[in-house]
Structure 1
Amino acid sequence: MPEYLTPGVYVEETSFRSRSIEGVPTSTFGMAGRTEYGPVPYLLPGGPTVLPGPALVTSFTEYERAFGGLKIGEEDCPLALAARAFFANGGRRLYVSRVFPFVRTSAAEDAPPAVDANFASLAVPATGTPLLYWRARWPGSAGARISVAVTFRRGKNILIAGGDGALRLTGVQAGAAVEVLPLSGGNAPSPSDDAPPVAANVRTVVRRADGILGYLNGQGGFEPVAAGTAAFHLTLAVTVRLGERVDVYNELELDDRHPRSVGNVLQAADPADEFSLVWLDTVRPAAGAPPTLPGARLAALLGLGQPGAHLTRGGDGLEPTAQDLGGKEANPDSLTDPARGLGALAEIDDIAIVALPDTVTLPAAEQKTAVDLLIGHCEKLRYRMAIVDPPRDSSISEVRRFRAQFDTKYAALYYPWVRITDPSRRPDPGAPPPVIDVPPSGYVAGVYARSDVERGVHKAPANEVLLGINDFTTNVTYDRQSVLNPEGVNALRFFEGRARRVWGARTMSSDPEWKYVNVRRLFIYLEHSIEKSTQWAVFEPNNERLWASVRQTVEDFLITVWRTGALLGTKPEEAFFVRCDRTTMTQNDLDNGRLICLIGVAPTYPAEFVVFRVGQFTADAQRG
């Protein structure tokens, strides 16, 4: 109880209600794999350390801005196609962990990435000794399609006379660039907006210890504002283009002393724009060499011309292996060795559905390994479900052999692949539209998300229409599905007049208790929600008051779940039970600080086989 030491009136707040349990999200999707470009951790020798985690995107437009388009070079990108399918079928939240096996400076596994072999760049100026480099923030051959253009804007004269008659700079901070020109007949000159500044007239504004603003001279010292001059504030605009994407960064300053300088706004590690394409790398002068003058730096940036110059070099790295897709967990002893691949997705608690579309590009043995890593990821984390893609061009016998290699309640397999109009190609007039075959995981994940939002996680994500497809690569008939369904292969089928639908909701488990996807996902939802919302009970006094509070909290949550139709029974007592008392704990449990709550629920199973029995009866027969 509170401690009272001084006589007086004390008012305390208390609660007379049980704590509530909030349901966790169940429709958040996570994928790891190759993309055209986009965030990936890397550490360059003598360069930046860039350690982004998986990026959250909420639309395919946002995905394209972060990770590029549907192609990697000339090849289709399975992950991008899956992301497009996910959002087209009702998905709303997607985490992407980009996998990029770097070309390294040597064969050693821990060797640093080779800069030019992975990252596109542009020397500034293009001839002579470079003063700056525009570099692609992310590795990939797409960097060679990035162009950069820099323009300037000249403001009004920013010199004013102070109360003591001395001239003062106004409206600028340290690090701003100004063009200093002599007065003409006592009046400030009016230089043409199109005329580039003369390099010798450009100065960097610095602040003296007493707070007075002046210029940085060539020796790094302070140069006061001279009488008989005018100063024009120079700001920059950087335009970065990649295909149809155009990013414009306005009102940038020249020197890194300014918080809004080009180098600070467009830096590699933590830029103002999370998904910016380029960063500005400043070349340090050699030992004993004079510093680069601001006019030379400005002239080099403006020398790119219009509409700009393209970056060069870069590459798409090595072909990923199953181990690359599986990734690894973060090194606990090093902040510069983060998690990668599926290991990075493990750090995102909200993810409930995962897939690896790139497994279909691997050889058969490698694909088996990658699916094992995906299943192991879900089994270890317990609160997520995997969607597995079958190998390309699988026959009925081949997909059965593929399915026979796995036994898990945390994954589901869908067959066959889907055929869509190629979204990356414009059809020729008079020719049939170009089509491509894509794995089904992105489409099914979107159906999962749509079903969860519209009906709830307890509803089997089946008998749902697949949107955005032309056909299936294989026609699964009634007889063919009678072979696939008992083995846990969920069929995608076409029904005349009812479109193309998901026609199965089974896991890849041999345990009949966990045969259905919705039952497994319902228990994931219940377990995860209860775990997250009962953390308050840790270190509370382990007595009858705590037990009653935990019981009430869980019962209130399960009643809400029962009312949604997720549990069987006409009344709560038939749908679930919650026990947390001396019958669930021994004295040894109490002595060792264990609170044990026993919860039983009766889930609803899908009506997979709907049977109507029809028979004849006579007119005078009584109907009971």
Structure 2
Amino acid sequence: MPVNPTYPGVYLQELPSGARTIAGLPTSITAFVGCFVRGPVNVPVRVFNPGDFERNFGGLDRQRETTYGVTQFFQNGGGQALIVRVAPGGVAASVEMLDDAAGVALVATAGQQIGEASADNPGLWGNNLRLDVDYAAADPATQFNLTVTEIREDAGRALVVRSETFRNLSMDETLTSHAPPVVNDGSVLIQLTQGGSTDRPAVTGTLADAGADPSAATAGDSAIDMTVTIGGAAVTETLEIAGADMPASLPDARALLEGLIRAARPTEPMWAQAAVQLMDGRLRVLLGRNGTDYDPEAVVSFADDTGDLAANLGLAGGAVTENVQQYRLGSPNAALAFRGAAVAGVDDTGATAAALAGSRAARSGVFALETADLFNILCIPEASLLDGPGQVTNLNQVMSAAIPYCEERFAFLLIDPAPDVDTPDDAAGWLDDIATAGMRHRNAAAYFPRLRIADPLNDNRPRSIGPSGAMAGLYARTDGDFGVFRAPAGIIANLRGVQGVDYRMTDPENGLLNPLGLNAIRIFDNIGTVSWGARTLVGADMLSPDWRYVPVRRTALNIEASLMRGLQFAVFAPNDEPLWAEIRLAANAFMSRLFRQGAFQGASPRDAFFVKCDAETNPQSDIDLGIVNVLVGFAPLKPAEFVVLSLQLMNLQAAN
């Protein structure tokens, strides 16, 4: 700030340097829009590796083409992906958790919190979620613990995939321990909403009545009937207790009862792995959680056969709570014990043009990327599967949304050919169709033929997939190794994890498609499968020469996006020479850095680029309108697409 001298002495004033740094943006963050096994719907989720993809979206699925595209992206060198799931017809599994008076305490729905939004997670996977409630909390009278478990059925056994536990939850919305916000912020499996009740959900398992006193039971031999009810079918076992073994305390009773239950049916894991806990001064009985015969909706009840030990343990009569072993999301049983109505999870019904294209107002489909800060490449593999042979109507509906949106976001679009495009003649016809539909654009490219990969979900038999995912990974790998200005093509551009292609082209056939702006994927002996073209969809010989090549267009997009973000400091600054000088300094420094990386033609920066922002580009009329004009030009590197070798024979006799 300016110095205001008021006394004799030396004053210090720090002055800004006036230097602004423009950072280059990433070039290969790839967005995928399509159907997946699981995951939030219409919310872009960033994943960095196949493990992230498996955890958040379920990994490969034979019915969903995009899952193979994402896998190929990472296999070929991709580093960051944004996944947008569409799920037309999908339903998220849910369940009502009732309190002791059968009021709805909480409703649990398969889903997770993404940013500030709660996103449902449709699909059959949600039917594998189970919830445990217990009162072993810091305040057993008012609080509860909630455990969320995702299981996977394997040969009749329930194997735990992952588990989350939330402790000391409350139903009081004025407290920081209020269950819905605590769980919603921390869980990647469920979202809670509070029902009409403010009481806690009933504890799972069988919870004895309070005030049990086993020492008050009648002396002598006793027998307790234990009944397990599953789906209306009941099985009862009588647990015999000799008078000499009568427990005198609840800890003794806990150990005795657990031993008797396990011994009643030692060959059935549901019984043999049963647990009896001492919780809040009461007994809690649970069946074996990992048994092959275990059913989470089994209900355990007790009654005295002879003697009164069950009653004195609080397990019979009184206010004993006989609940399901676990709340199970999506169970078709409408009401069982203290579990209320449930909605079964349903998978999506397959990609549609409307779902993939989405809506800007609803931020769905392609437009779900509105909430993403940045993406550079867009792939929609399932769009190529929507039409019948020789048709591009649905593809056009998707791309008519995707192409303008990519232009708006400085992104590049990869379009896959349809499965029926089998030969170069088919490919040429397909190009005519998409040209008629208006899909030839400088921000888009297409590759032919489709790839053949080993399908791990089908005994590694060959599967045909669109090349967009693998090519996006190759773009990322080339950008990392050389820079965005290097064409992702040539003998260095081998495609990993690819067994072959649907059609093996010859040089003359390649020569038919290359002038039309369709890039070839070729197989060469001793090299493998490689990308053998670098043209955009306006790269046909008869169309625009400025944006013919993929690396030229992607370099321009990166420069545009980087300068647009890096010059934000100029907004609302005084529009005169000091600002113009700052802009020139910042933009020149950014372009010089790209020149040193080898992004431009020319032996010196003067030959490679220019930045102009002065009184000539900013007349007074524009200054009056608040406009600053910056002119940036650059000489792009263009790929050596045709290498012409001239060979001349020397006539030595004539030389003599």
- TM-score, scaled to structure 2: 0.70
SS across alignment from 2:646: coil
The structure-2 alpha-carbon separation of the partners of 1:237 and 1:296, relative to structure 1 and needing over 3 Å to count, comes to closer
Using the TM superposition, give the Cα deviation of residue 292 of structure 1 relative to its aligned residue in structure 2, in angstroms: 4.5
Tell me how far apart the structure 2 counterparts of residues 410 and 561 of structure 1 sit (CA, whole Å).
21
1:324 to 2:355 alignment: yes
Tell me how far apart the structure 1 counterparts of residues 507 and 482 of structure 2 sit (CA, whole Å).
27
User: Which amino acid in structure 1 is aligned with residue 165 of structure 2?
Assistant: N
Tell me how far apart the structure 2 counterparts of residues 534 and 144 of structure 1 sit (CA, whole Å).
46
The structure-2 alpha-carbon separation of the partners of 1:588 and 1:610, relative to structure 1 and needing over 3 Å to count, comes to same
Q: Is the 8 A contact 2:134 2:203 kept in 1?
A: no
Using the TM superposition, give the Cα deviation of residue 4 of structure 1 relative to its aligned residue in structure 2, in angstroms: 2.3
**Paired residue total:** 498
1:440 to 2:467 alignment: yes
How well do the aligned residues superpose, as a CA RMSD in angstroms? 3.0
Deviating beyond 6 angstroms after TM superposition, the runs of 4 or more aligned structure 1 residues are 125-128, 300-305
SS across alignment from 2:565: helix
SS across alignment from 1:248: strand
Given candidates 406, 425, 443, the residue that maps to 1:378 is 406
Using the TM superposition, give the Cα deviation of residue 536 of structure 1 relative to its aligned residue in structure 2, in angstroms: 0.9
Q: Is the 8 A contact 1:204 1:294 kept in 2?
A: no
User: Which amino acid in structure 2 is aligned with residue 359 of structure 1?
Assistant: A
1:483 to 2:465 alignment: no
Aligned residue for 1:2? 2
Q: Deviations over 1:447-486 (max 9, x none)?
A: 0111111111100111201011111111122111101101
Using the TM superposition, give the Cα deviation of residue 145 of structure 1 relative to its aligned residue in structure 2, in angstroms: 4.5
SS across alignment from 1:32: strand
Mark the structure with the bigger radius of gyration: 2
Aligned residue for 1:306? 289
The structure-2 alpha-carbon separation of the partners of 1:283 and 1:594, relative to structure 1 and needing over 3 Å to count, comes to closer
Using the TM superposition, give the Cα deviation of residue 125 of structure 1 relative to its aligned residue in structure 2, in angstroms: 7.5
Tell me how far apart the structure 1 counterparts of residues 431 and 202 of structure 2 sit (CA, whole Å).
67
SS across alignment from 1:465: coil
Tell me whether 434-443 or 297-306 shows the greater mean CA deviation: 297-306
Q: Deviations over 1:175-204 (max 9, x none)?
A: x3x2xxxxxxxxxxxxxxxxxxxxxxxx22
SS across alignment from 1:442: helix
The structure-2 alpha-carbon separation of the partners of 1:356 and 1:418, relative to structure 1 and needing over 3 Å to count, comes to same
Given candidates 183, 188, 192, the residue that maps to 1:266 is 183
Given candidates 371, 384, 390, the residue that maps to 1:360 is 384
Q: Deviations over 1:372-408 (max 9, x none)?
A: 3221221233x11000101013132222222222321
Aligned residue for 2:341? none
Aligned residue for 2:109? 135
Q: Is the 8 A contact 1:151 1:238 kept in 2?
A: no
Given candidates 45, 65, 82, the residue that maps to 1:55 is 45
Q: Deviations over 1:204-253 (max 9, x none)?
A: 26xxxxxxxxxxxxxxxxxxxxxxxxxxxx75544222577722223523
Aligned residue for 1:192? none
Aligned residue for 1:164? none
User: Which amino acid in structure 2 is aligned with residue 119 of structure 1?
Assistant: A
Aligned residue for 2:318? none
Tell me how far apart the structure 2 counterparts of residues 497 and 551 of structure 1 sit (CA, whole Å).
50
- TM-score, scaled to structure 1: 0.73
Given candidates 605, 608, 613, the residue that maps to 2:646 is 613
Q: Deviations over 1:347-391 (max 9, x none)?
A: 42320111111102212311122123221221233x110001010
Given candidates 131, 142, 155, the residue that maps to 1:204 is 142
Aligned residue for 1:23? 24
Q: Deviations over 1:302-336 (max 9, x none)?
A: 87862446533222244443222111224xxxxxx
Tell me how far apart the structure 2 counterparts of residues 297 and 558 of structure 1 sit (CA, whole Å).
65
Equivalent residues in 2 for 1:228-239 (5 A)? 235=145, 237-239=147-149
Given candidates 431, 437, 448, the residue that maps to 1:403 is 431
Aligned residue for 1:503? 532
For structure 1, list consecutive stretches of 5 or more residues without a partner in the other structure.
42-52, 104-117, 156-171, 179-202, 206-233, 286-290, 331-337, 428-432
SS across alignment from 2:142: strand
Tell me how far apart the structure 1 counterparts of residues 190 and 510 of structure 2 sit (CA, whole Å).
51
**What fraction of aligned residue pairs are identical, expressed as a percent?**
31
Using the TM superposition, give the Cα deviation of residue 262 of structure 1 relative to its aligned residue in structure 2, in angstroms: 5.8
Tell me how far apart the structure 2 counterparts of residues 62 and 2 of structure 1 sit (CA, whole Å).
52
User: Which amino acid in structure 2 is aligned with residue 277 of structure 1?
Assistant: L
Tell me how far apart the structure 2 counterparts of residues 246 and 499 of structure 1 sit (CA, whole Å).
39
Tell me how far apart the structure 2 counterparts of residues 549 and 374 of structure 1 sit (CA, whole Å).
36
Q: Is the 8 A contact 2:97 2:201 kept in 1?
A: no
Aligned residue for 1:246? 161
Q: Deviations over 1:59-118 (max 9, x none)?
A: 1211121112322xxx52122111111111111111112112247xxxxxxxxxxxxxx1
User: Which amino acid in structure 2 is aligned with residue 361 of structure 1?
Assistant: L
Q: Is the 8 A contact 1:21 1:553 kept in 2?
A: yes
Tell me how far apart the structure 2 counterparts of residues 293 and 576 of structure 1 sit (CA, whole Å).
69
User: Which amino acid in structure 1 is aligned with residue 24 of structure 2?
Assistant: G
Q: Is the 8 A contact 2:148 2:189 kept in 1?
A: no
The structure-2 alpha-carbon separation of the partners of 1:439 and 1:311, relative to structure 1 and needing over 3 Å to count, comes to same
SS across alignment from 1:27: coil
The structure-2 alpha-carbon separation of the partners of 1:296 and 1:524, relative to structure 1 and needing over 3 Å to count, comes to closer
The structure-2 alpha-carbon separation of the partners of 1:347 and 1:266, relative to structure 1 and needing over 3 Å to count, comes to closer
Aligned residue for 2:64? 77
Tell me how far apart the structure 2 counterparts of residues 278 and 374 of structure 1 sit (CA, whole Å).
32
Using the TM superposition, give the Cα deviation of residue 299 of structure 1 relative to its aligned residue in structure 2, in angstroms: 5.2
User: Which amino acid in structure 2 is aligned with residue 67 of structure 1?
Assistant: F
Q: Is the 8 A contact 2:168 2:177 kept in 1?
A: yes
The structure-2 alpha-carbon separation of the partners of 1:294 and 1:126, relative to structure 1 and needing over 3 Å to count, comes to closer
Tell me how far apart the structure 1 counterparts of residues 489 and 470 of structure 2 sit (CA, whole Å).
12
Given candidates 121, 132, 136, the residue that maps to 2:94 is 121
User: Which amino acid in structure 2 is aligned with residue 326 of structure 1?
Assistant: A
Aligned residue for 1:40? 41
For structure 2, list consecutive stretches of 5 or more residues without a partner in the other structure.
112-119, 154-158, 208-283, 291-295, 297-325, 331-343
The structure-2 alpha-carbon separation of the partners of 1:6 and 1:237, relative to structure 1 and needing over 3 Å to count, comes to same
Aligned residue for 1:199? none
The structure-2 alpha-carbon separation of the partners of 1:521 and 1:582, relative to structure 1 and needing over 3 Å to count, comes to same
The structure-2 alpha-carbon separation of the partners of 1:292 and 1:145, relative to structure 1 and needing over 3 Å to count, comes to closer
Equivalent residues in 2 for 1:387-536 (5 A)? 387-395=414-422, 396-404=424-432, 405=435, 406-425=439-458, 427=459, 433-463=460-490, 464-509=493-538, 510-536=543-569
Q: Is the 8 A contact 1:403 1:413 kept in 2?
A: no
Tell me whether 362-371 or 53-62 shows the greater mean CA deviation: 362-371
Tell me how far apart the structure 2 counterparts of residues 613 and 436 of structure 1 sit (CA, whole Å).
43
The structure-2 alpha-carbon separation of the partners of 1:127 and 1:89, relative to structure 1 and needing over 3 Å to count, comes to farther
Using the TM superposition, give the Cα deviation of residue 421 of structure 1 relative to its aligned residue in structure 2, in angstroms: 1.1
User: Which amino acid in structure 2 is aligned with residue 306 of structure 1?
Assistant: R
Aligned residue for 2:263? none
User: Which amino acid in structure 2 is aligned with residue 141 of structure 1?
Assistant: G
Using the TM superposition, give the Cα deviation of residue 136 of structure 1 relative to its aligned residue in structure 2, in angstroms: 2.0
Q: Is the 8 A contact 1:462 1:504 kept in 2?
A: yes
1:278 to 2:190 alignment: yes
SS across alignment from 2:546: helix
